[in-house]
Structure 1
C-alpha cells in the first residue's frame, strides 16, 4: 500500500480546542481532528495543542499524543513534576484510554482482542505494519457498540501505546477505521472516525482516581453514505 500525499496542514483555530478540566497540575483538553498534539517541523506546523495552551497559560508539557486526524481527550501537564508522574503512569499502564471508532464491515462477534506486534514500514514511511519478526508487542481490546449493514461502531481500549496502534490493528483484521487515509484502501475523503472519548487515571498530586469523558462527534448513521443501518 503506497502512502497517499500528505494534505496541506490547515489547523483549526485556537477556540476549537476545548478545555474539559484545568487545575494547577494539568489540563484535560478536547482536541479537534486536524490539529497536531505538539508542534511539527517547520513554522507552518507550529499550531498545536501545546502551542495554543502555552500561549494562553504559560509553559505546558506533553504527556501523550493523539494522531493529527484523531479527535478527543488529551492530558497536558503544567509542571515537569506532573509530567513525570503522569508519564510513569503511562509506562506502568495505569492510565486507561477508551476510544470510539467507526470501522468497515460486519464484526464476527461482540468483543475481542487483537494481539499483534507492530513495527515500522521502512519502505513506506510513516506507515506502520504488523511485524512478527521485529515488531513491538501491541494489544487492543474491542467491543461492538452498534452494527450497521456495512460498517460498525466499536469501543476500543489500547493496552499498549504503539504509534498508529488502533489504526493498524483494525486494518489488519479487515476492519479499517473509516476516513483513514493511511490504512483504509477504500479511503476517498473526510475525517478519520476515531475519537478518544474517555480517560481514567490517578491525579498526580492527590493520587485519587479521576475520570473524564467527551461525547464523540460522529455516529454510525451520520458518518458517511455507506454507514446507514
Structure 2
C-alpha cells in the first residue's frame, strides 16, 4: 500500500521522528486490535493509547476502543528499552542550509533499526540540532568511522542523492590490515557481490558472474608487528606485520571494501563479519570498544549539484591499535 503524502507531521520526541502505519487487511474491530496485530512486537499499545501517544493523520489522539477504519493512517513514535550508550561523540565538520557533514565514531549505527534507536547518529543529531528533516545522504556501517553526510531539506534530497546514484562522488577510505596481500599493490579488485541466504545473511558472497563491485587498494605504509595484545587471538595467529592501506570504492555495494580486503588475503583488523561472522553481544552487553573495525571513511568530494562548487569533507579521526 502506498502511503499518502501528508502536509503535517507531529514533532519528534527526544530526537525520534514519528512513524506512520496504514490500516490494511482486517476487518479490525478497534484501533487497539489493529495495532496489536500489525505491530505485535510492541507490548504496550494499551498504555501508549491511554497516554495519547497514537494519533490520527491530523493529530487527534486515538482511543483504544475506537473503531478502526480501512485506509486510515496513524502516527506513533518508535520506542526501545534503554540502550547502552556508545561512549564516543559525533563531531560536526560542516553545516549549511542544505548539507551537514559529521565525523562519525566507531560503534554508532547511522539510522534506527533493530536494536538501535537512541544510540544512532541520526537520532543523536536530531536531538542535538533540533532538525527533524535530516536524512543520511549515504551509508556507513555501524562499525566504520569517518565522514558521513546528511541532507537537511526534503526538497533537495533527490539532487544530492543523485550524486551517489550516478557515481559522481569520490570516496577515500583507510584501513589497517595484515601485510602482505596476495597480489602487488596498487591493485584493482573487481568481483560480483551478492547477499548470502539463510543464517549467514550478514555476509556478502563473491560469486561467479559479471562484476558489480570495483575497488582500488593502495599501500600507504607498512607499520611493522602489531602491539602485543592489540589483536584478538585469531587475528594475532595470522598477522605478523600490519600495514596502512588507502581504499577507493568505485561502486557502493554493501560491505564492499571489507570483502575486497578479505579477497586479497588481508581482512581488515577488528572485523567481526569477515572472514568469520562473530555473534552480536547480548543487548545489555557493550561491545569491546578497545578493538574497533580498523576502517575509516577518510574523505568524500563531489561537485555540488545546486551551486556547482567543489565540496570536499575530510575526517579528523585516526586509525590506531590500542592494547589497553
TM-score range, shorter chain: 0.7 to 0.9
Shift in Å at residue 24 of structure 1?
A: 0.3
Equivalent in 146, 169, 186 of residue 72 of structure 1? 146
Partner of 2:251, secondary structure, is: coil
List alignment gaps of at least 5 residues for structure 1.
Answer: 1-8
Name the structure 2 match of 1:110.
Answer: 185
Q: Does 2:293 match 1:218?
A: no
Q: Which has the higher strand share?
A: 1
Structure 1 residues 205-214 or 155-164, which shifts more? 205-214
CA distance in 2, matches of 1:192, 1:97: 18
Shift in Å at residue 12 of structure 1?
A: 2.4
- Corresponding residue pairs, total: 210
Q: Does 2:284 match 1:194?
A: no
CA distance 1:140–1:85, shift in 2 (3 Å)? same
Structure 1 residues 137-146 or 73-82, which shifts more? 73-82
Name the structure 1 match of 2:202.
Answer: 126
Equivalent in 231, 239, 249 of residue 158 of structure 1? 249
Whose radius of gyration is greater, 1 or 2?
Answer: 2
Structure 1 residues 18-27 or 104-113, which shifts more? 104-113
Name the structure 2 match of 1:22.
Answer: 95
Q: Deviations over 1:10-43 (max 9, x none)?
A: 4425x7011000000010011100101111125x
CA distance in 2, matches of 1:52, 1:25: 19
Shift in Å at residue 163 of structure 1?
A: 0.5
Instruction: State the TM-score, normalized to the length of structure 1.
Output: 0.84
Q: Deviations over 1:54-112 (max 9, x none)?
A: 22231211211100000000110001233211110101111111101001221343311
Instruction: State the TM-score, normalized to the length of structure 2.
Output: 0.60
CA distance in 1, matches of 2:85, 2:203: 22
CA distance 1:63–1:169, shift in 2 (3 Å)? same
List alignment gaps of at least 5 residues for structure 2.
Answer: 1-82, 225-240, 279-287
Shift in Å at residue 200 of structure 1?
A: 0.3
Equivalent in 268, 271, 277 of residue 180 of structure 1? 271
Q: Deviations over 1:161-208 (max 9, x none)?
A: 001000011111211000001104598x61100000111012243121
Whether the aligned pair in 1 keeps the contact of 2:175 and 2:319 (CA below 8 Å) is no
Q: Does 2:186 match 1:85?
A: no
Superposed CA RMSD in Å reads 2.2
Whether the aligned pair in 1 keeps the contact of 2:163 and 2:305 (CA below 8 Å) is no
CA distance in 2, matches of 1:186, 1:41: 18
Name the structure 2 match of 1:3.
Answer: none
